Structure 1
Amino acid sequence: MVAMPDHPSPPRPVITRKDVARLAGVSTAVVSYVVNGGPKNVAPATQAKVRQAIAALGYRPNVAARALKKGSSRLLGMVVPKIGNPFFASLAEEVEQAAEERGFAMLLADSRDSLSVEQSHLRNFVDRQVDGVFLCSVLSNPDVGELEQRGIRTVLLNFSEDARAIDAIGPEFTRSSRQAVEHLGSHGHTEIALIVGIPTGNTLDRREIGWRQALQAMGQLDGRVYRCSFDRQGGYEAGQQLLASSPRPGAVFISSDQQAIGFLRAIHEAGLRIPEDVAVMSFDGSEEAEYCWPPLSTVRQPVREMAEAGVKAIIGPGRNTPPQSLVFDCELVLRRSCGCTAAHDAGQGVK
């Protein structure tokens, strides 16, 4: 047994800006200029003395107090439905990097595809007085009323095509999906099925709309639809359902790379080949699509451009403009899974 001291150790003294100024031989204002990078310039030699004093004393600025004084927490919040999804992980990474370049930190929250968890995260962001929120919601039309009432600018990410009362940024789903399905048709497939995530609202997924438009243009009135969760397990189960159907479709368009990875497993387990037995085209353009086997032909979303636009809308020039919807074109990346030649394996893109 470890003996406990009779008296607890006294708390460490709080190091203040005055302590730093006294050790460096400067005023507290100069310390503030060095810590905050302005607004006045400080001579390099003086800066060095202040930073040496900060290091020696272990001084850390009171971020909360500084935020209260300046009216800005320099914090941004982001909610994604599943951080384990490579697409949302990549999007969050790009948003965080764009925010960091502007001196902002980001709080990332995972709603786990739950509306109640999503709302709880948003309330937490309000309590923490973040300067803005990026929301990849489980709903097509989420309620952000409390954020608006508190003056917290909100950007919906991975949303597009419909005008909204708040900033919405995302890919052009419909035309991109139609082009992907038409490309499958160019390989001679006359029946192209759809594997698509189960919608959380009453709106039809834009990828499904694009698929239907492509079928109509090809002279087909309808096609088979397999609805499942937006993950690998969902794609795997949808693949098993497709394999049990007769006759089996010769091609399939899948609404996410994650679902497509699960679908590939179902096909491999059945001893079938891709694209010889079933050609595949998916949506998202994640790294996962490039490194599976065979490499997936996919619709690549411009993740970096969308993230940059979202950050600018909150802490850039766009923060003082009316909300707007920005729609970004996607890129068709052709690889082996759709039936293209090996020349496409490096990921040749088609705008």
Structure 2
Amino acid sequence: MVAMSTPTSHAKTITRDDVARMAGVSSAVVSYVVNGGPRAVSPGNEAKVRQAIRALGYRPNAAARALALGSSEMLAMIIPDAMNPFFASLSRAVENAAAERGYTLLLADSQASLRTERRLVKNFASRRVDGLFLWSELSDPDLMDFEQADIPVVLLNHSTDLATSGSPAILKHGAGDPGANSVGVAFRDGARLAVEHLIGHGHERIGLVMGTNPGGDVDSREVGWRQGIQDAGLTAGPIIRVPFTREGGYRAGQELLAASDRPTAVFVSSDQQAVALLCALQEGGLRIPEDLAVFAFDGSPESEYTWPRLSTVAQPINDLAHAALEALLAAPGKEPLTHIFPAELVLRTSCGCH
């Protein structure tokens, strides 16, 4: 006769109340310890709660918590190059701003690929994050997945032809603008100011090193470079188009070294390109700024540590991060707005300033 085995009962799921009973505290105190707030817990009670968590093997159920709150408490961010110091600084600033409001940030790198960007957008929409920060390769990206899921999106690199006159501007969206809130810097205005500054140093032939854009849109920095030259009645110098990478900047430096009609100054569309460009130029024996003045765009931390130190158009990273978070968490249903910050010139040795 074969003995019939009786089904074993499932192990009891450890709850927050179990932890509270063992630690001798309230369930709310356990929640504060597990979630890092919103209220402070005394060191003694925190130690008791953590000891009980270890003893019982308690694991918070993130899915249940999200269902109860109606929120995943997670935000997502897509950038085109996680290796770029500017994007690294911006990501950290957004992460810090999100943490202040109780959110965790998930970061993804599209590697400047439209195909990868679209895949990541679909992926984050399906995971039901609470919102998305997107630095897109397109001026008007396809956000249908997020719109259908009713999840807010903030575009981080939206630009405008507005000259901001030294103060931030908030614009209502018009025809052709993206259907999401957006935050950005006056790219065209910043590039124009950089060119005007180089002209003030006596330069009459100013070239451009311009990053390539997979979306095919004309970059506002190129428009601003051209406007500054035209306003002064000068002839534009050569344009070198290379990727927004160190390799691209180094290649641009080599092209400038080999050029028979080399300009006396150059505006570079990103700090990352400019750092490598400086390396190539100095390897080739050029003196900066005596033989070629250089002005870049971004204001990344490494611009302060080049030799010579790099003049740049700075983007206000912390202001961008906080404005983007506020735009993402704004009440739904309002008309989309664009928050544009003014450009700021940071003058150092590479342009001829001392």
TM-score category by the smaller chain? Answer: 0.7 to 0.9
Q: Distance in 2 between matches of 1:17 and 1:111?
A: 39
Cα distance per residue 1:165-198 (max 9 Å; x no partner): 2111111111111010010011111100011011
Change (3 A) 1:18 1:283: same
Q: Which residue number in structure 2 is paired with residue 220 of structure 1?
A: 234
Does the alignment pair 1:259 with 2:258? no
Within 5 Å, which residues of 2 pair with 1:35-74? 53-54=52-53, 56-74=55-73
Please say if residues 160 and 326 of structure 1, whose CA atoms lie closer than 8 Å, have aligned partners that are also in contact.
no
User: Offset of 1:15 from its aligned partner?
Assistant: 2.6
From the superposition, tell whether residues 287 and 120 of structure 1 become closer, same or farther in structure 2 (CA, over 3 Å): same
SS of the equivalent of 1:170 reads: strand
How far apart, CA to CA, are the structure 2 residues paired with 1:116 and 1:16?
A: 43
Instruction: Give me the whole-angstrom Cα distance separating, in 2, the residues matched to 1:14 and 1:81.
Output: 42
Comparing 193-202 with 67-76, greater Cα deviation is found at 193-202
1:129 aligns with 128
Question: Any idea what SS the aligned residue of 1:227 has?
Answer: strand
Match of 1:305 among 319, 332, 344: 319
Total equivalences in the alignment? 330
Output the amino acid matched with 1:230: F
Question: What's 1:334 paired with?
Answer: 347
* Structure-1 separation of matches of 2:13 and 2:307: 57
In the TM superposition, what is the alpha-carbon distance from 1:53 to its structure 2 partner?
A: 3.4
In the alignment, structure 1 residue 151 sits paired with structure 2 residue 146: no
Query: The residue matched to 2:64 in structure 1 has which SS?
Result: helix
- For residues 111-142 of structure 1, the C-alpha deviation after alignment (integer angstroms, 9 at most, x for no partner) is 11111111121222122210000001122221
Tell me, yes or no, if the aligned pair for 2:211 and 2:241 is still in contact at 8 Å.
Answer: yes
In structure 1, the partner of 2:198 is 184
> Which range moves more in the overlay, 48-57 or 190-199?
48-57
Q: Which runs of 5+ in 2 are unaligned?
A: 1-9, 162-172
Instruction: Name the SS for the 1:67 alignment partner.
Output: helix
- Write out aligned runs for 1:39-118 (5 A): 53-54=52-53, 56-118=55-117
Instruction: Give the counterpart letter for 2:339 in structure 1.
Output: L
Q: Which amino acid aligns with 1:231?
A: T
Name the CA distance, whole Å, in 1 between partners of 2:39 and 2:280: 64
User: What SS does the corresponding residue of 2:77 show, helix, strand or coil?
Assistant: strand
Q: Distance in 1 between matches of 2:27 and 2:283?
A: 69
What's the counterpart of residue 209 of structure 2? 195
Note if 1:229 corresponds to 2:243. yes
Counterparts of 1:293 and 1:94 in 2: how far apart (Å)? 26
What amino acid is aligned across from residue 79 of structure 1 in structure 2? I
Match of 1:155, SS state, is strand
Question: Structure 2: which amino acid aligns with 1:173?
Answer: F
- Show the counterpart of 1:4: none
> How does the TM-score come out when normalised to structure 1?
0.86
Correspondent of 2:328 among 309, 314, 339:
314
- 1:346 is matched with none
Of 43-52 and 191-200, the range deviating more from structure 2: 43-52
Q: Is the 8 A contact 1:207 1:255 kept in 2?
A: yes
Percent of residue pairs identical: 55
The offset of 1:93, in angstroms, is 0.5
Q: Root-mean-square deviation (CA), in Å?
A: 2.7
In structure 2, relative to structure 1, the CA distance for the partners of 1:293 and 1:13 (3 Å cut) is: farther
| Partners of 2:297 and 2:314 within 8 A in 1 | yes
1:124-164 deviation digits (Å, cap 9, x = unpaired): 21222100000011222211111111011001112222743
Q: Is 1:293–2:307 an aligned residue pair?
A: yes
Question: Cα distance, 1:255 vs. partner?
Answer: 0.3
**Taking structure 1 as reference, are residues 52 and 222 closer, same or farther at Cα in structure 2, changes over 3 Å only?**
same
Q: What TM-score do the two structures reach when normalised by structure 2?
A: 0.85
Which one of the candidate residues 276, 283, 294 is aligned to 2:290? 276
Q: Is the 8 A contact 1:147 1:153 kept in 2?
A: yes
Structure 2 vs 1, CA of residues 235 and 16 (structure 1 numbering), >3 Å: closer, same or farther? same
Alpha-carbon shift at residue 250 of structure 1 (Å)? 0.4
Give the structure 1 partner of residue 138 of structure 2.
139
Indicate if the aligned counterparts of 2:208 and 2:238 stay in contact, CA closer than 8 A: yes
The structure with higher relative contact order (CA 8 Å, sep 6+) is 2
How far does residue 247 in structure 1 lie from its aligned partner after superposition? 2.3
Contact 2:209 2:268 in 1 (8 A): yes
List gaps (5 residues or longer) in structure 1.
1-10, 342-351
Query: CA separation in 2, counterparts of 1:31 and 1:260?
Result: 51
Deviation at 1:302, TM superposition (A): 0.4
Query: How many angstroms apart in 2 are the aligned matches of 1:225 and 1:12?
Result: 69
Q: 1:249 aligns to what SS in structure 2?
A: coil
The one-letter code of the counterpart of 1:179 is L
* Residues 140 and 200, structure 1, Cα contact 8 Å, conserved in 2: no
Change (3 A) 1:284 1:38: closer
Equivalent runs, 1:156-171 vs 2, <5 Å: 156-161=155-160, 163=173, 164=177, 165-171=179-185
Letter in 2 for 1:227: R
